[in-house]
Amino acid sequence: MRADRGKIVDTRVHRPAAVAEAAANRRRPASLLGEHGRLMMIAADHPARGALRAGDRPLAMGDRIDLLDRLAEALSRPGVNGVLGTPDILEDLLLLGALDGKVVVGSMNRGGLAGTAFEIDDRFTAYDAASLASAGFEGGKMLTRIDPTDPGTVATLVAAGHAVSELARHRLMAMVEPFISHRVDGRVRNELTAEAMIRAMTVAAGLGTTSAYTWLKVPIVDDMERAMEATTLPALVLGGEVATNQDAALTAWSKALALPTVQGLVIGRSLLFPPGDDVASAVDAAVSLL
């Protein structure tokens, strides 16, 4: 499947209702889990936050057709049963017919643009629970960074709590991605230690009026076993930056998947822009861990 820019633009100009039609006609998955008993998702919500870098390519995710082609390739691989994205990307994939049978999770808060003074005040600027339910998608994801020195944190926490409650009201997954974050030389950096992840996860687990539909999206940290003992919520391991040593990344993901809380992977740039640029092989290697 190759994306045709002209065809997509023509549809958006002359038949914008085709997006809703494609969502209504999408074949929905029977379960959040694939045949391997796990959830294997491809993430592509980075561009809407202005985060376009992948490895040593500063504008890797800036070519939409190239990104769509990589996404379509990844989603076509056996064992990949989900995708995470913002409305623009998911709607392009709907028009391409690439989301049949997939778990679709919409990214909700993209207002904390990368590298800005207001990055921690991560406003909800994309999907809300009602629009996700209307589209027939399976859940919504929210980035929830906690900076002890930035007052903007509390607005994000309040909005995230509301989103968790509203998603649960529609019986949709609330995927919360929590971090303890700090500004270092003017830039936001996530603290990737077991202690920081324990604190972040325990805060995230308490957001909203119920945790019944809450899943966590967590990074790999040292002493991962101890970190994951902090919660009974299902968790998905994220990929983070493109790894220079892909074998080491695969080993870390494999160890995390052995933990009872971890129910799968949600990987973006590491699989879409892997070393060697072979998307299919990178995705297959990740799926083999399941």
Mean pLDDT of 172-195: 97
Confidence of residue 240 (pLDDT cuts 50, 70, 90): confident
| Residue 2, pLDDT score | 76
Decide: helix, strand or coil at residue 129: helix
Q: What is the pLDDT of residues 215-237, one digit of tens each?
A: 999 999 999 999 999 999 999 99
Strands (E), the chain: 39-44, 82-85, 103-107, 139-146, 173-184, 187-190, 214-218, 235-238, 262-267
DSSP string, 149-201: T-THHHHHHHHHHHHHHHHHHTT-EEEEEEEEEEEETTEEEE--SHHHHHHHH
Burial of 35 from C-beta contacts in 10 A (0-12 / 13-18 / 19+): exposed
Mean pLDDT of 114-118: 95
289 pLDDT higher than 70: yes
Percent of the chain with pLDDT over 70: 100
45 pLDDT higher than 80: yes
Quick count: other Cβ atoms within 10 Å of Cβ 52? 17
Q: What's the full length of the chain, in residues?
A: 290
Quick count: other Cβ atoms within 10 Å of Cβ 224? 20
Q: Which residues pair with 214 in a beta bridge?
A: 174
202 pLDDT higher than 90: yes
Mean pLDDT of 259-284: 96
Q: What is the pLDDT of residues 127-169, one digit of tens each?
A: 999 999 999 999 999 999 999 999 999 999 999 999 999 999 9
245 pLDDT higher than 90: no
DSSP annotation of 61: G
Confidence of residue 288 (pLDDT cuts 50, 70, 90): very high
102 pLDDT higher than 80: yes
Residue type, 139: G
Full set of structural domains in the chain with CATH: 5-288 (3.20.20.70)
Q: Among candidates 37, 29, 34, which has minimal Cα distance to 257?
A: 37
Percent of the chain with pLDDT over 90: 94
Mean pLDDT of 59-88: 97
Phi–psi pair at 50, nearest 5 degrees:
75, 15
| Residue 1, pLDDT score | 59
242 pLDDT higher than 90: no
**What is the residue-averaged pLDDT of the chain?**
96
